[in-house]
């Protein structure tokens, strides 16, 4: 939307070509542009689109980067490469976490908003996407540091000498993941856009971005190697390593389920929890401002794809169940043949031989929305 506003703004540069235009017209034109700039919803974090650019990350061509992001991009092209590769991973993780959910984290091809208009709403889903995307940046950069792919960072240099844990003392060795560098860069790059705004949505994004970054740090683990005589663990060398990104994904998915609705303070400096009975701290909770749509029907303005044609599970009562997934519209059943390996035998030595078995399974898919009756009659 603000893309179109930019086109209009560019058009205004051509104004000198039409000197006969009255001042009055250009004034109206100016007000019109101002109106567009103020009232068009802003484009979503377009750095997400870096993942779709592959090896051709050219900072000037990434739509929607703010100045600070463009500068970081130009100063650290190698980091942008990692962020781009990381984007594919966190989007895949998001789709894994939501595969049995009405909203399934699907992306739009060649669309620089990546997730479409769903993200314009300050919903739980937006909270999750912001959190996992900034977690993804931390993860990708930290990993690239450890693999020696980046000029500006390395393994964590603080992890030197001796230390100890519950099992006794050990020597730091190997390469400890430099999570603090990853967090620092992710914060500078990802938060840059939100730092420019001072509205509820910006505060919400900043909060959820931080939750995402911390979610990666939470699952750092100590890995050790034993060097004692005959494999005893009297001498240990250890390093800090990030866990698989799946753990961050699982954690944030749980946080999605318990996300907290907030409203902005009157002075605009922070939030308060909408539920007056809420006890506890929202520091480590995802927060959202608006309720989610039900995502049942195709709705272009809301960016909802609807659930027509989605596969559902007839015997489940959860979000993947046909009841919930199809929003009560019912489902179609198809019998499909499935080939699986079966009757496997162990053959001396050392092979397993199986035969192919054909099963017939029922696949259920959600019915489309019934058209209004008058459409059927005509």
Ligand X SMILES: *[C@@H]1O[C@H](CO)[C@@H](O)[C@H](O)[C@H]1NC(C)=O
Residue 64 or residue 306: which is nearer to ligand X going by CB?
Answer: 306
User: Which one of residues 110, 315, 349, 351 is an interface residue with ligand X (CB under 6 A)?
Assistant: 315
Q: Is the dihedral of CA 193, 194, 195, 198 positive or negative?
A: positive
- Please state the φ and ψ torsions of residue 365, each to the nearest 5 degrees: -130, 145
Is 313 near ligand X (CB under 6 A)?
yes
Per DSSP, the residues of 244-303 read: PHHHHHHHHHHHHHT-EEEEE-TTSS-EEESSTT--S--TTS-EESSPPP---SEETTTT
**How do 260-264 and 287-288 pair as beta strands?**
parallel
In this structure, the number of other CB atoms found within 10 A of the CB of residue 354 comes to 11
CB of 240 to ligand X, least distance (A): 34
Whether residue 132 contacts residue 93, with contact meaning beta carbons closer than 8 Å, is answered with: yes
# of chain residues touching ligand X (CB under 6 A): 11
Taking CB under 6 A as the criterion, the residue among 316, 319, 363, 368 binding ligand X is 316
Which residue among 155, 307, 312, 326 contacts ligand X (CB under 6 A)? 307
- Binding segment for ligand X (CB under 6 A), chosen from 62-70, 175-183, 196-204, 309-317, is 309-317
Terminal Cα-to-Cα distance of the chain (whole angstroms) = 36
CB of 115 to ligand X, least distance (A): 12
| Closest approach of ligand X to the CB of residue 95, in Å | 5
Radius of gyration of the chain (CA): 26
Q: Report the nearest approach of ligand X to the CB of residue 307 (Å).
A: 5
304-316 burial code (b ≥16 CB/10 A, e <16)? bbbbbebbbbeee
Binding mask of the shown chain, residues 100 to 129, with x at each position contacting ligand X by CB under 6 A:
----x-x-----------------------
Residue 74 binding ligand X, by CB under 6 A: no
Stretch that binds ligand X, among 50-58, 235-243, 304-312, 325-333 (CB under 6 A): 304-312
Residue 367 DSSP SS3: coil
Rank residues 104 and 180 by Cβ distance to ligand X and give the closer one. 104
Q: Which residues bind ligand X (CB under 6 A)?
A: 95, 99, 104, 106, 305-307, 310, 313, 315-316
């Amino acid at each position: 939307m603000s893309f179109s506003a930019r086109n209009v703004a560019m058009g205004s540069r051509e104004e000198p070509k039409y000197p006969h235009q009255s001042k009055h017209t250009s004034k109206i034109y100016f007000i019109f542009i101002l109106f567009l700039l103020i009232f068009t919803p802003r484009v979503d974090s377009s750095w997400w689109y870096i993942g779709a650019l592959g090896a051709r990350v050219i900072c000037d061509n990434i739509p929607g980067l703010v100045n600070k992001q463009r500068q970081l991009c130009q100063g650290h092209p190698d980091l942008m490469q990692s962020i781009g590769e990381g984007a594919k991973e966190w989007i895949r993780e998001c789709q894994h976490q939501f595969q049995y959910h009405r909203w399934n984290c699907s992306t739009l091809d060649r669309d620089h908003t990546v997730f479409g208009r769903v993200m314009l709403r300050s919903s739980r889903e937006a909270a999750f996407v912001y959190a996992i995307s900034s977690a993804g940046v931390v993860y990708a950069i930290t990993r690239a540091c450890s693999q020696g792919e980046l000029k500006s960072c390395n393994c964590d240099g603080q992890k030197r000498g001796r230390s100890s844990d519950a099992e006794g003392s050990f020597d730091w060795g190997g390469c400890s993941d430099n999570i603090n560098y990853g967090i620092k860069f992710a914060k500078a790059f990802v938060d840059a856009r939100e730092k420019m705004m001072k509205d509820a949505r910006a505060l919400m994004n900043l909060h959820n971005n931080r939750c995402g970054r911390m979610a990666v740090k939470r699952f750092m683990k100590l890995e050790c190697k034993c060097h004692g005589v005959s494999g005893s663990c009297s001498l240990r060398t250890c390093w800090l390593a990030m866990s698989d990104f799946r753990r961050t994904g699982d954690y944030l998915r749980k946080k999605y389920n318990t996300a907290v609705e907030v409203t902005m303070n009157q002075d605009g400096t922070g939030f308060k929890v909408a539920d007056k009975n809420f006890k506890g701290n929202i520091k480590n909770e995802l927060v959202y401002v608006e309720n989610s749509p039900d995502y049942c029907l195709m709705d272009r303005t809301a960016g909802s794809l609807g659930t027509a044609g989605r596969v559902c599970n007839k015997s489940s009562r959860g979000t993947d169940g046909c009841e919930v997934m199809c929003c009560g519209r019912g489902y179609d059943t198809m019998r499909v043949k499935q080939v699986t390996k079966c009757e496997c035998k162990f053959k001396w030595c050392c092979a397993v031989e199986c035969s192919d078995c054909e099963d017939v399974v029922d696949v259920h898919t959600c019915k489309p929305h019934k058209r209004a009756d008058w459409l059927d009659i005509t």
